[in-house]
Amino acid sequence: MDQNQAMVKMVFDRWNALIKNFSTSLDALTDEQLQHEIAPGRNRGIYLLGHLIAVHDDLTRLLDFGDKLYPELVKPFLESPDKIIAEIPSAKELRAAWSTMNETLNQNFDKMQTNDWFQKHTAVSDEDFAKEPHRNKLNIMLTRGSHLAYHHGQFILIK
């Protein structure tokens, strides 16, 4: 295993552990508990779930895997704060979307070669990437993993 392979493996070992830990926490909560706020006046669990799905769905664009699976989640979970949009998907629908999102991402991840992870993502120009080669696809995975860990820390406060 060369250095690049080791780096990719480390990132994905962590990513997979984060997904598993969040999924375990999600599975331990009832649909009713997902309606609870993390703290008084803060986001509900269902909002965090929808937010994470929408953010992970954006990986399909950033990593050049194709079109988003759930573009309808952008407005309620990325562009709007919790409780502003009255009609959001049910907990059951979001749980299914979480599973589908992870399965779809994993299928695409499995097609990637080690060197693919060190190529530019779609939100960086060729000019900027030439100056800043660290703005690559693997870096996107690092930032999304940190984002997931942050929200998992909030999510586990739901009772």
Give the pLDDT of the chain (159 residues) as one tens digit per residue: 899 999 999 999 999 999 999 999 999 999 999 999 998 999 999 999 999 999 999 999 999 999 999 999 999 999 999 999 989 999 999 999 999 999 999 999 999 999 999 999 999 999 999 999 999 999 999 999 999 999 999 999 997
* Total number of domains in the chain: 1
In a domain, 119, yes or no: yes
Q: Are 68 and 61 in contact (CB under 8 A)?
A: yes
Angle ∠(141,144,145) on CA atoms, nearest 5: 80
In a domain, 68, yes or no: yes
In a domain, 149, yes or no: yes
In a domain, 84, yes or no: yes
CATH number at residue 53: 1.20.120.450
Half-sphere exposure in the Cβ direction for 18 (13 Å, CA): 22
Look up tokens 């399909």; give the residue.
Answer: 60
- pTM for the whole thing? 0.95
C-alpha–C-alpha distance, residues 57 and 101, integer Å: 7
Q: Residue 6: what residue type?
A: A
